[in-house]
Structure 1
Amino acid sequence: MIESARLILRPWLDSDLDALAAINADPAVHQWLGGPISREMTQASIERQCGYQEAHGHCFWAATLRDGGTLVGMIGIQPVRFEERFTPAVDIGWRLGSEWQGRGLASEGAKAALDHGLNVLRLPNIVSFTAVGNRASRAVMERIGMVHDPDGDFDHPALAADHPLRRHALYRVK
């Protein structure tokens, strides 16, 4: 577990599925993810994260409030799953329910995950990326000390060539 002032990042539990599926079904959440994420896709995502945790010692963990344990989303670090000029690398990322956005929780949790990756796991190449128009996520990247690497910007291979979110901005640790 990783703890910050307001959050606990922890391994996934079977009981997390309903809450994460609700977050993933929210149009305000998936507007930057390329489309809605079904319950089945959410289950597969949790299983994939559990596999990363077992294989690498890190994943996008369940992000819960320290006070009460409410699941607010997922925050963590995972291997980049595609080949690009900047890979192999570990991606730091977050996804919060819309009611939890704008409260500084993404920055707080991402900073804790980044510190864990750098100082505990000693990962050599941590990056973050998002659609170029996603100003909120880019601001989080900057708040946690990452810098934009315009030479690393890329077209995300999981999105169709004509998809409006295909172009992604790459950020690196300073």
Structure 2
Amino acid sequence: MGPLRTDRLDLVPLRVEHADEMAEVLSDPALHEFIGGEPATAEQLRLRYEKQVAGSPDPTVTWANLVIWLRAEDRLTGYVQATIAHGTAEIAWVVGTPWQGRGIASESARALADWLRSTGVTEIVAHVHPKHAASGAVAAAAGLTQTDAVVDGESRWRWQTTS
């Protein structure tokens, strides 16, 4: 997939070369409170990104991994991603701590969800920690609705075509 553009952002396909800057963007341990794990080093991200850039080993699954470029600051601020299979896309987003609260995650997730809908995806799903109100707001901004389902302790948010 090519880049996506919003009023303030460029969502650019992930490249291995993004690892150094993304290691800085994702370096705050507090960022991992809801997503788990701990900050990755640039080398760990390079190895992860090599696999992600290569694409899914399953030919029925497509990975869309995009970094978020904030044009006004001329820098990366986070990422959005989708795993697409059989008409369903599971999406996720992470924005570095210094850029949170500025609508970057909502704008990015909405752009990704709009693009997915334009490709014929019939269902979009996100899993959000029930105590992470900000991520719930991002899911809602992307057009998803919270369901009663809980998977691995996370609330399932969903959009599906009405046709």
Normalising by the smaller structure, the TM-score range is 0.7 to 0.9
**Greater Cα shift, 58-67 or 40-49:** 40-49
CA deviation profile, 1:108-136 (whole Å, cap 9, x unmatched):
011000000011x2112210012221111
- The structural deviation recorded for 1:88 is 8.1
Unpaired segments ≥5 residues, structure 1: 81-86, 156-166
Give the structure 1 partner of residue 147 of structure 2: 149
Aligned twin of 2:9: 7
Identical residues among aligned pairs (%): 27
CA root-mean-square deviation: 2.5
- TM value normalised by structure 1: 0.78
Which residue pairs with 1:159 in the alignment? none
Aligned length: 155
Query: Aligned match of 1:73 in 71, 78, 85?
Result: 78
Q: Using structure 2 for the length normalisation, give the TM-score.
A: 0.82
CA distance in 1, matches of 2:81, 2:122: 16
Which structure 2 residue ranges, 5 or more long, are not aligned?
Answer: none
Q: 1:45/1:124 Cα in 2 relative to 1: closer, same or farther (>3 Å)? A: farther
Is 2:127 the partner of 1:129? Answer: yes
Deviation track 1:15-57 (CA, whole Å, cap 9, x = no partner) reads 3111111233211211111120322442233223313389666
Shift of 1:66: 2.5
Distance 1:37 1:153, change over 3 A: same
